[in-house]
A = this chain, B = another copy of it.
């Protein structure tokens, strides 16, 4: 079974294919794009070699002679310096990339972000096909066109919006994913359910066994449903001026927890899970929702193997980090608060003491 989700963005529309064994079909997807002259595969050294190899074989069958560029693995390499190495490789070695070339990124979020940013900026933009091999990249980063690298002053501070020409997700790649990374992706699935789709929450609750077993049919449905939700939001607000902000549910607090804990000490999804709990408590204290919303969130997070608490957080430190969040404007910390399951709103008047009280839900 292969599910195809359309991301509607006018002239920049594209398809996300989700299936079992899709790596073997990447060549056909690239061949379907008009006028492709050459193909470069970008991957990282942490991706099992079999994946870029399968993609290259598929591209070879489609008549291309792809080159592969492997960047070093890890968020610490998501930098302008790494991009610079990729530019060197694709521009200085023959045959050089031209404007009709396609860059195929095979890997997780870092590969997608670096490959996407290079695609956005080399020769002022070439086409880009994303082949996510992590659940987080599949349900989150592969839809939306956000590309970018980190700067010493913060994450993703240098980047561009650049929509892919296509996305191909092979759920078979999830079988080699470390458990913590898998759960990190599941946290974003919970987030999508909380902001937009109660029936997805029911799916997560009822199919948690199949999900934990990475059962292919279940995973195809899970990924496709999440892509559909994110695609809907992105289509309505490509440049993040309005409702796309809903996707930040749990992220302002989550990013602050990630930053204060040091990157790598917990996964992005785990941090977002904690952030969602804090936002539910904030909403509950404001009377926007009853306690049953937090209870249900806690239940599904537990089923997904995510932690509900984290010791040693310092509310004052977290607040200081939130004040410097990219989305904070004129000193007003912005958070997304639930108004029920599948419904949220943007709130910009949270105060430090209110936040500190809500953070106690993590103790």
List residues of A whose CB falls within 8 A of some B CB: 37, 80, 83-84, 87-88, 91-92, 96, 98-100, 117, 120-125, 146, 148, 151-154, 156-161, 324, 326-330
Contact = CB atoms under 8 A, between A and B. Distances in A.
Contacts of A324: 96
Contact of A152 (B83, B88, B98, B326): B88
A158 B87 contact: yes
Contact of A159 (B37, B124, B153, B329): B124
B151 A87 contact: yes
20 contacts: A37-B329, A37-B330, A87-B151, A91-B151, A91-B152, A91-B153, A92-B151, A92-B153, A98-B328, A98-B329, A100-B329, A121-B121, A121-B158, A121-B159, A123-B326, A124-B156, A124-B160, A124-B161, A125-B160, A125-B161
A153 B96 contact: yes
Contacts of A125: 160-161
Contacts of A326: 98-99, 123
Given A80-B80, A124-B146, A157 B87 contact: yes
A193 to B, nearest CB: 27
Nearest to A79: B84
In the A-B complex, the 4 residue pairs with the closest CB atoms: A91-B153, A124-B159, A92-B153, A121-B158
B329 A157 contact: no
A84 B80 contact: yes
A152 to B, nearest CB: 6
A80 B117 CA distance: 13
A156 B123 CA distance: 7
A87 B329 CA distance: 19
Contacts of A87: 80, 151, 157-158
Nearest to A92: B153
Contacts of A156: 124
Nearest to A324: B96
Given A37-B330, A92-B153, A329-B37, A158 B122 contact: yes
B37 A122 contact: no
A33 to B, nearest CB: 15
Contact of A123 (B100, B124, B157): B157
A63 to B, nearest CB: 15
Most B C-beta atoms less than 10 A away, residue of A146, A157, A328: A157
Contacts of A154: 91
Most B C-beta atoms less than 10 A away, residue of A92, A153, A329: A153
B157 A91 contact: yes
Contacts of A124: 146, 148, 156, 159-161
Contacts of A122: 157-158
A91 B87 CA distance: 24
A325 to B, nearest CB: 10
Given A99-B326, A122-B158, A124-B146, 10 more contacts: A37-B329, A80-B83, A87-B158, A91-B152, A92-B153, A100-B329, A121-B158, A124-B159, A124-B161, A160-B160
